[in-house]
Structure formats: structure tokens, C-alpha cells
Amino acid sequence: MYKLIRIVALIAIVFLTSCEGSTRKTWQITNNSSFKVALSVDSLSQELVTNSIAPGTTETILVTDTRGGSSHPGPITEWLSFTIQSGYSVLTKDPLNDSNWSVYSHQTSKVPSEYTHSFQFYFDDSDF
């Protein structure tokens, strides 16, 4: 009987921990301008990306996975700082303003609860 209780308890623990779910967030920047730009993105604790983005391409700058499924995407730029420039021209569209980002959210699984949130920042020639 004791052995049966242990087996049932172990199965319950495995089942309950597998129901926790997760949330994946992806930040992307799309260069819709006609020229190559230099990109530097930093977080509070480490440099994430120092790269260039060719015209018409998208660069993923950060991907995070957290435990627990959340339908709320949360703040977009709270932990990031950006520099985007082309030659001597600096981007005038503010990448630190959350309203300048497009947010796409999708529930990928109900049990366990899993969500993906994609944050996308677009700019073109008129933004310099």
C-alpha cells in the first residue's frame, strides 16, 4: 500500500509540474530603408547585439523563455537600449517607445499553457 501511495504521488508531481507552461518572447528589428544600418542593442546586464542590418531584412535581437504561460506580453523595451544609425544619420523613430512596436501574441498550447509574443520594430527611409 505504501508503495502504491508513493507511485501515485510521483505521478501527481510529474503531472503538476508539466502543467506549468512557458512564455517565449522574441524581439525583431526590420530594416525597410534603402540602406544598411548599424545596430547596437544592450540589456541591463550584457550587450546583446552589435550588428548591421541590410535593406529589406529582419534581425532577431533577443529571445527569452520564461516558466509559466502568460497571455500578457508585458513591457517591450523595459530592459533594452538601442542605437540605430546609417552613416551620420541617427534614427528619429524612437525604438524605446513601446507604441512604435508591433506586438503579436499567440497561445500555442492550452495544457500546459504556452504563449509566444513577438515584438517587431520597423523603420524606413523617412525615419532618419
pLDDT in tens, 59-91: 888 888 888 888 888 888 877 777 788 877 888
pLDDT on residue 34: 92
Which residues, 6 or more positions from 51, have their beta carbon under 8 angstroms from its beta carbon? 38, 39, 59
Judge whether residue 45 has pLDDT over 60. Answer: no
pLDDT on residue 12: 61
Judge whether residue 1 has pLDDT over 60. Answer: yes
List the chain domain ranges: 21-127
pLDDT on residue 72: 80
Higher pLDDT, 13 or 128: 128
- CA separation for the pair 119, 25 (Å, rounded): 8
Contact 87, 67 (CB under 8 A): no
Q: pLDDT tens digit string along 85-106?
A: 887 788 889 888 999 999 999 9
- CA separation for the pair 105, 24 (Å, rounded): 10
- CA separation for the pair 31, 96 (Å, rounded): 16
Q: Is the pTM of this model over 0.95?
A: no
Q: pLDDT-derived band of residue 116, with 50, 70 and 90 as boundaries?
A: very high
Looking at the chain, how many residues does it have?
128
Report CA dihedral (40, 82, 98, 28) to the nearest 10 degrees: 0
